[in-house]
Protein backbone atom coordinates (compact mmCIF):
# COMPACT_ATOMS: atom_id res chain seq x y z
CA UNK A 1 0.00 0.00 0.00
CA UNK A 2 1.26 3.44 -0.89
CA UNK A 3 0.49 6.56 1.07
CA UNK A 4 0.79 10.09 -0.19
CA UNK A 5 -0.20 13.58 0.86
CA UNK A 6 -1.57 15.80 -1.90
CA UNK A 7 -2.64 19.31 -1.00
CA UNK A 8 -5.40 20.49 -3.32
CA UNK A 9 -6.34 24.01 -4.27
CA UNK A 10 -9.77 24.89 -2.95
CA UNK A 11 -12.41 27.45 -3.73
CA UNK A 12 -15.41 28.00 -1.49
CA UNK A 13 -18.64 28.26 -3.41
CA UNK A 14 -22.13 29.19 -2.21
CA UNK A 15 -23.20 27.83 1.15
CA UNK A 16 -21.23 24.80 2.23
CA UNK A 17 -19.88 23.78 -1.20
CA UNK A 18 -16.16 23.55 -1.92
CA UNK A 19 -14.53 23.11 -5.33
CA UNK A 20 -11.26 21.15 -5.42
CA UNK A 21 -8.62 21.36 -8.15
CA UNK A 22 -6.46 18.31 -8.82
CA UNK A 23 -2.81 18.67 -9.84
CA UNK A 24 -2.29 18.97 -13.59
CA UNK A 25 0.28 16.16 -13.56
CA UNK A 26 -1.42 12.79 -12.98
CA UNK A 27 1.81 11.43 -11.43
CA UNK A 28 1.19 13.66 -8.39
CA UNK A 29 -2.24 12.10 -7.77
CA UNK A 30 -2.60 8.92 -9.85
CA UNK A 31 -5.97 7.33 -10.48
CA UNK A 32 -7.22 5.31 -7.57
CA UNK A 33 -9.06 5.38 -4.26
CA UNK A 34 -8.25 8.11 -1.75
CA UNK A 35 -9.39 9.25 1.67
CA UNK A 36 -10.24 12.96 1.56
CA UNK A 37 -10.13 15.22 4.61
CA UNK A 38 -10.96 18.91 4.74
CA UNK A 39 -8.94 20.79 7.33
CA UNK A 40 -10.08 24.06 8.93
CA UNK A 41 -7.88 27.13 9.34
CA UNK A 42 -7.23 26.01 12.93
CA UNK A 43 -6.06 22.54 11.80
CA UNK A 44 -9.13 20.54 12.75
CA UNK A 45 -9.74 17.71 10.23
CA UNK A 46 -13.16 16.59 9.05
CA UNK A 47 -14.33 12.99 9.02
CA UNK A 48 -12.68 11.36 5.99
CA UNK A 49 -14.65 10.53 2.85
CA UNK A 50 -13.58 7.92 0.31
CA UNK A 51 -13.19 9.33 -3.23
CA UNK A 52 -12.21 7.71 -6.51
CA UNK A 53 -10.06 9.49 -9.10
CA UNK A 54 -10.74 8.19 -12.61
pLDDT for res 5: 87
What is the pTM for the complete model shown? Answer: 0.71
pLDDT for res 4: 82
- Candidates 40, 29, 26, 39; CA nearest to 3 is 29
Give average pLDDT by consecutive 10-residue segment, the chain, 54 residues: 84 88 92 91 94 92
- Candidates 22, 20, 4, 23; CA nearest to 12 is 20
pLDDT for res 1: 66
Amino acid sequence: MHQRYVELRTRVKKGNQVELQLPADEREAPRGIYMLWLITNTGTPSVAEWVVLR
